[in-house]
Amino acid sequence: MAGIDSYVKLMLHMDGTDASTTFTDSETTPKTVTANGNAQIDTAQSKFGGASGLFDGTGDYLTLADNADWAFGSGAFTVDFWIKVNANPAAIATLLAQWPDAGGTQRSWDIALNPDGTIRVDVRIEPSTYSVNSVAAVNNGAWHHIAMVRNGDTLTLYIDGSASGTPASLATSGSLNDSTDSLYIAAYNLNPGLGYEFNGWLDELRISKGIARWTTNFTPPSAAYSATEAYTLAAAYSTFTLTGEASLFKIALKILAAYGSILLSGQTTLFKWGRKVAAAVGNFVLTGYSVALNYGKILTAAAASFTLTGQAASLVKALIMGAVNATFSLTGNLVTFLVNGMAILWTKQNKSADPTWTKQNKSADPTWTKQNKSADPTWTKQNRS
């Protein structure tokens, strides 16, 4: 389902190999997540994706360096995730926090599990702390969705899509403290050994800044979050595959594969306004870390391969790119196309370098027009343009 957009500042799917200590941030500007103690990926329990984050309550937690992305100020924000409790805490168990033991203006916000299995959220707007305690408990061995939402001057706690507890009325236009402390997950800031660690599993943890995702009761998410606004994705007699961590499409209006494969794999493979991407009788492959297409409006491989590999292979406003009976490859670190720089010109390539382009698509593959009209009626127009 949708859910990864420009408002998302942290996205932990908690997926990966069993016992791995790698926790990957799957939004558009990934941040480094450090696993402490025995915090690890567990494939025995999950809400989505076949894995979750396991924390045993004795020194297991995640940390991220302070970042302006979770300095919420006076604006709207949403923090949501799934939780499965293994054991009740003796006092409280911190789930997420920028709430150091030092107190004062360094305390910003936190979400915690109470000993009775209810949830408590706090925000600090000097000189006051505003809190919401849930009525519903989440310690019954099932997965539960938690959401803390600020909308205007109201802080609401949702459990499984229903507001629970009395929403807090915040100071008018009040700005949360801007803590410089690290963000802690599953333990209390600065003193993770004081008995405030969480014992259980977390999944699909998302921080959104600048948006109140929910303002009334809602149906909890039914699948892992993914990118938004990816229209017209088609595979005709072929394979269209997205694999790995957060393969992301944003306003990628036409992605097509005909008698071939379009493969996106690896971590944060990204399309942004990549409006026409096509593979015909060949392969269109993007692999590696942070492969990005921004405004790459026409990218085509016909009876050949179009390949981007490596770290941050990037196309920015590269409007026309094509590979015909050949291979088009971008490899290595920070391979970049800017404003059509170095782009293979579509009209020249197909009219001069390969005069058989029209014949190839209409004669060599007589089912081309019929096939693509059924998969996408705009295909013929796309290739003629």
- 3 located within any domain: no
The answer to whether residues 21 and 95 belong to one domain is yes
Helix (H) or strand (E) holding 357: helix 357-359
Helix (H) or strand (E) holding 383: helix 379-384
- 367 located within any domain: yes
The answer to whether residues 157 and 278 belong to one domain is no
- 225 located within any domain: no
The answer to whether residues 86 and 184 belong to one domain is yes
- 357 located within any domain: yes
* Residue 313 Cα distances to 153, 180, 287, 329, angstroms: 43, 33, 9, 10
Residues with Cβ < 8 Å from 334, sequence gap 6 or more?
A: 311, 312, 313, 314
The answer to whether residues 277 and 184 belong to one domain is no
The answer to whether residues 175 and 266 belong to one domain is no
pLDDT of residue 368: 33
pLDDT of residue 340: 37
Angle, CA 61 vertex, CA 267 and CA 147 arms, to 5°: 75
The answer to whether residues 268 and 174 belong to one domain is no
Partners of residue 120 on adjacent β-strands: 112, 133
CATH number at residue 125: 2.60.120.200
The answer to whether residues 205 and 241 belong to one domain is no
Domain boundary among 194, 209, 224: 209
- 222 located within any domain: no
* Residue 222 Cα distances to 9, 102, 206, 218, 229, angstroms: 21, 39, 15, 12, 18
pLDDT of residue 50: 94
When divided into structural domains, the chain yields a total of 2
Closest CA to 214 of 147, 165, 154: 147
Domain boundary among 151, 176, 209: 209
- 355 located within any domain: yes
- 220 located within any domain: no
The answer to whether residues 291 and 369 belong to one domain is yes
Beta strand 183-185 with 239-242 is unpaired
The answer to whether residues 180 and 250 belong to one domain is no
- 278 located within any domain: yes
Burial class (CB in 10 A: 0-12, 13-18, 19+), 341: exposed
The answer to whether residues 12 and 125 belong to one domain is yes
Residue ranges making up the domain that contains 362: 233-384
Q: Rounded to two decimals, what is the model's pTM?
A: 0.64
The answer to whether residues 167 and 296 belong to one domain is no
pLDDT in tens, the chain (385 residues): 678 888 999 999 999 999 999 999 998 889 999 999 999 999 999 999 999 999 999 999 999 999 999 999 999 999 999 999 999 998 899 999 999 877 779 999 999 999 999 999 999 999 999 999 999 999 999 999 999 999 999 999 999 999 999 999 998 779 999 999 999 999 987 565 566 899 999 999 999 999 999 999 999 999 999 865 444 555 666 666 666 665 555 544 556 666 667 666 766 666 655 556 667 666 777 777 666 666 556 667 776 677 777 776 766 665 666 676 767 677 666 565 544 333 332 232 333 333 333 333 333 333 333 333 333 333 333 333 3
The answer to whether residues 163 and 249 belong to one domain is no
